[in-house]
């Protein structure tokens, strides 16, 4: 019976969840044992006939989870039971060489790297998809003036598409971070009990290099009994950082969907219910779900950090929680990427409300440009600043448009012509570099698609 939402399939795609399924995990571990045996046979570490037999058994369908569980009930050691289940199928001549020179963590850590490797292929493809959707939205609205807000207050004019461009840029940066980090956290270890290579002696590093190459991983340069947990902490941090960017996007969408702002709204399909009590509610539930999952994702990084400090060459204080933290991190991020891509693709943009909000302050959003106009006429910056502030505050008090207040002010009015003011109060004139920035980000996304789609 499913206990956690992950068990029921509520979160994450089928393809990402299958990577962490017990049967798939067994496949990874069997592949590792097969590749180690083959490499050891080729390099003369174990008899070649034994290496071939072990690999053949590992690649067959003879090793079952059921039998491993039976053996584990006796040994109370899951990896020992796994190794014993392989040895049971081998001839007497091959049995001594099963898992030769290895320790449990070699199998567990390397198979974890294999899981991460396959997971990241899926995550990267979804990051590329999201970057493309964001880029397309940025281009769609690159010429639409909108309110730019700081501290929750109207500040100046932006292109509405700039919001999407900023997000697209960060998604591309995440692709770069993950790709650059692979050499540190997609690692293979075959160095045995305390990281010396022990019984494989001088050939230990050669075995590790060959196995890593065949598995598409990087040989760990040094380790104790386990891969240093800084590696996994970094991977989880990078993935959590992606989730934090998705949360940033979700928070903005949630704010823009507030009744008082109303510039966007999540797609509300026929038959959907926003509230069991209030029939008119259309809540940004997908964005809220992203924010909720992001909190959990960030919390898992703290656990990964705690796992770095193990006793001596290792203890088991990391082992139990990693069975949760690593699969959960990947699966939850997959869910969040699916959600955000859906939200952005179907996001309804309310142009009229965007323009209405631009006019909400009766022209005061153009104060920055009035200040610039006065500076260019030779008025000292802070003299102009204080006069604009005085007129603006008075206009609010008297419920007067900012444009009329400037025209009627003896100090400001004498410096500015009516034509200059009308031109300055046209929001479409103040997109500045926004369209160029958006075009540059669109090219960045295009280049990333070429680079990372080929790499995967």
Active site residue 60: no
CA-to-CA distance for 120 and 220, rounded, in angstroms?
Answer: 19
Rg (alpha carbons) of the chain, rounded to whole number: 30
- CB distance 307 to 226 below 8 Å: no
Residue-wise burial string across 375-392, b where 16 or more C-beta atoms lie within 10 A, e elsewhere:
eeeebeeeebeebbeebb
- Single out the catalytic residue among 73, 151, 222, 312: 151
Q: Any idea of the CA torsion for 243, 245, 250, 252, to the nearest 10 degrees?
A: 160
Active site residue 154: no
- CB distance 139 to 442 below 8 Å: yes
Residues 6+ apart with CB under 8 A from 49: 93, 94
Q: How many CB atoms are located within 10 Å of the residue 11 CB?
A: 20
Q: Any idea of the CA torsion for 117, 123, 126, 127, to the nearest 10 degrees?
A: -110
Closest CA to 144 of 156, 163, 160: 160
362: left (phi over 0), alpha (psi -120 to 50) or beta: left
- List C-alpha distances in Å: 18 to 22, 33, 110, 332, 418: 8, 21, 18, 14, 67
Give me the phi and psi of 368, to 5 degrees please.
Answer: -55, -40
Q: Any idea of the CA torsion for 130, 134, 137, 138, to the nearest 10 degrees?
A: -160
Beta strands 187-188 and 218-219, pairing class: parallel
Residues 6+ apart with CB under 8 A from 293: 11, 243, 332, 335, 336
Q: How many CB atoms are located within 10 Å of the residue 2 CB?
A: 9
- Single out the catalytic residue among 75, 91, 275, 418: 275
Catalytic residues: 151, 275
């Amino acid at each position: 019976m499913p206990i956690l939402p992950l068990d029921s399939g509520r979160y994450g795609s089928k393809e990402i969840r299958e990577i962490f399924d017990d049967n798939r995990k067994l496949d990874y571990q069997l592949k590792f044992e097969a590749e180690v045996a083959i490499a050891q046979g080729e390099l003369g570490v174990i008899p070649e006939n034994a290496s071939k037999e072990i690999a053949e058994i590992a690649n067959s369908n003879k090793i079952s989870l059921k039998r491993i569980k039976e053996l584990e009930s006796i040994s109370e050691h899951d990896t020992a039971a796994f190794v014993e289940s392989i040895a049971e199928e081998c001839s007497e001549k091959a049995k001594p060489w099963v898992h030769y020179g290895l320790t449990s963590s070699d199998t567990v850590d390397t198979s974890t790297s294999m899981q991460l490797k396959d997971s990241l292929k899926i995550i990267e493809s979804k990051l590329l998809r999201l970057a493309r959707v964001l880029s397309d939205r940025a281009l769609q609205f690159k010429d639409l003036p909108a309110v730019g807000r700081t501290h929750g207050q109207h500040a100046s004019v932006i292109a509405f598409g700039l919001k999407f461009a900023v997000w697209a840029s960060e998604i591309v940066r995440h692709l770069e971070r993950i790709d650059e980090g692979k050499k540190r956290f997609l690692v293979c270890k075959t160095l045995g009990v305390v990281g010396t290579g022990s019984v494989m002696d001088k050939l230990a590093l050669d075995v590790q290099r060959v196995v890593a190459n065949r598995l598409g991983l990087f040989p760990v340069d040094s380790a104790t009994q386990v891969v240093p947990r800084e590696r996994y902490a970094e991977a989880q941090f990078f993935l959590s950082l992606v989730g934090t960017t998705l949360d940033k996007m979700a928070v903005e969408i949630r704010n823009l969907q507030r009744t008082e702002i109303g510039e966007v709204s999540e797609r509300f399909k026929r038959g959907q219910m926003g509230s069991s009590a209030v029939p008119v509610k259309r809540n940004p539930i997908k964005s809220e779900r992203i924010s909720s999952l992001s909190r959990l994702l960030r919390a898992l990084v703290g656990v990964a950090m705690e796992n770095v400090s193990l006793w001596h060459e290792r203890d088991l204080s990391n082992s139990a929680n990693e069975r949760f933290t690593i699969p959960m991190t990947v699966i939850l991020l997959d869910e969040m990427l699916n959600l955000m891509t859906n939200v952005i693709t179907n996001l309804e943009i309310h142009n009229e409300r965007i323009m209405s909000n631009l006019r909400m302050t009766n022209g005061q959003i153009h104060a920055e440009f009035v200040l610039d106009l006065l500076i260019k006429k030779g008025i000292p910056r802070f003299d102009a600043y204080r006069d604009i502030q005085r007129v603006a505050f008075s206009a609010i008090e008297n419920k007067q448009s900012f444009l009329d207040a400037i025209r009627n002010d003896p100090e400001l009015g004498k410096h500015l012509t009516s034509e200059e003011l009308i031109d300055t109060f046209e929001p479409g004139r103040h997109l500045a570099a926004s369209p160029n920035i958006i075009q540059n980000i669109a090219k960045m996304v295009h280049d990333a698609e070429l680079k990372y789609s080929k790499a995967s």
